[in-house]
Amino acid sequence: MKEFLIDLLHNEALVYTLMAFVPLVWVVPFALFAVWWERKISAHMQDRLGPMRTGGYHGWAQTVADILKLIQKEDIIPSAADRKLFILAPYLVFAGSYAAYAAIPFSAAYVGSGINIGLFYVISISSIVVVGLLMAGWASNNKWSMFGALRSAAQIVSYEIPVALAILAVVMVAGTFDLQEINRLQTGWFWNWFLFQKFPFLFVGSIIYFVASLAEVNRTPFDIPEAESELVAGYHTEYGGMRFALLFLSEYANMFAVSAIATTLFLGGWNSPFGEFLSGPFWGLFWFLGKGMMFIFVQMWLRWTLPRLRVDQLMYVGWKVLIPFAFAVVIGVGFWVMAVR
């Protein structure tokens, strides 16, 4: 895609700028309709109908109407808030979550930046989100926001360890950090996916990754940073209008980013599950988004099924369950890879 654009425009700077905007074409509509989707799923799980009126067919335009309303809202900054940081924080949070999309391979023909270090980059760049959340919480000058931000940061910092270890196990099998290369190694039928390689080590690793990634994006059962019953809404309590929309957008962008990484690492990324059946750059995009949306559905399903963990239970799950199992996976995969070679 990059070569095609360079041929078309003859200007490198313009092409790179355009390439940087491509994932936005997916992220914004995804966030918009994922909110509607989540409301519908929750409604059906609770034997309700959910939004039904706006737009005609099952209320599909509900979130479009919501975003139009949010854009028109008055821009309120609390008088006791720290003005500069309060304004900067939502942009920083979104920049952090969008930066991860630079290395995510949407299809064989499109990856924002085909860097060798892609996977490691995605893990590390998400730490900007943590700083952004802390900034939002602190600048709001509100105890609920502050506690939400501190909880969120503590949670993300502890769950980064099992995530990194699960990813390390995959890297040991693949021998590369390059996400496109990891995809290419899984080409073929679905038993070539890393999910079923080195069984059962990477299978356990994928479960560890999924559970820990739920905590990284503050989803139920790990949503204590925005526990409504104790903290109102966590770090975005004081935000309204467009700034709130931006924080919400980055939350959904993060959800899809971790799903995309799980897809790439364990479910073969843009590869078709059935060998050559429906493969190719365009169908690759279809399979990639489809697998990613499956993870999104599981995240929503869990949200409306499981209760919220307490803080001490959260730390128990992270440090005493996920990390020992993740170490076992890494050691097991290490011995296997060494023995085979």
Residues within the interface to another protein (CB under 8 A): 12-13, 82, 84-85, 92, 115-117, 120-121, 123-128, 130-131, 134-135, 138, 146, 150, 153-154, 157, 160, 177
Smallest distance from another protein to CB 273, Å: 30
Q: What are phi and psi of 252, to 5 degrees?
A: -75, -35
CA dist., res. 115 & res. 117, Å (int): 5
CA dist., res. 34 & res. 341, Å (int): 44
Chain length of the chain = 341
State which residue, 127 or 192, has the beta carbon closest to another protein. Answer: 127
Smallest distance from another protein to CB 121, Å: 5
Q: State the DSSP H helix or E strand holding residue 300, giving kind and residue range, or none if neither.
A: helix 281-303
Of 99, 161, 156, the residue nearest 131 (C-alpha): 156
Smallest distance from another protein to CB 130, Å: 6
State which residue, 11 or 313, has the beta carbon closest to another protein. Answer: 11
State which residue, 141 or 187, has the beta carbon closest to another protein. Answer: 141
CA dist., res. 100 & res. 96, Å (int): 7
State which residue, 124 or 192, has the beta carbon closest to another protein. Answer: 124
Smallest distance from another protein to CB 166, Å: 16
Cβ of 80: how many Cβ atoms within 10 Å?
9
Going by C-beta distance under 8 Å and a sequence separation of 6 or more, which residues neighbour residue 79? none
State which residue, 138 or 256, has the beta carbon closest to another protein. Answer: 138
Smallest distance from another protein to CB 13, Å: 5
Peptide bond into 200 cis (omega under 30): yes
Peptide bond into 221 cis (omega under 30): yes
Smallest distance from another protein to CB 210, Å: 21
Task: Please give the structure tokens belonging to residue 306.
Answer: 């499981």
Smallest distance from another protein to CB 157, Å: 6
State which residue, 138 or 222, has the beta carbon closest to another protein. Answer: 138
Tokens 């996400």 belong to 179
State which residue, 66 or 181, has the beta carbon closest to another protein. Answer: 181
Going by C-beta distance under 8 Å and a sequence separation of 6 or more, which residues neighbour residue 68? none
Smallest distance from another protein to CB 276, Å: 31
State which residue, 63 or 126, has the beta carbon closest to another protein. Answer: 126
Smallest distance from another protein to CB 221, Å: 23
CA dist., res. 82 & res. 231, Å (int): 20
DSSP 192: G
Strand-strand pairing, 110-111 and 105-107: antiparallel
State which residue, 116 or 313, has the beta carbon closest to another protein. Answer: 116
Coil/strand/helix, residue 189: strand
CA dist., res. 210 & res. 296, Å (int): 11
Task: Please give the structure tokens belonging to residue 90.
Answer: 């939502």
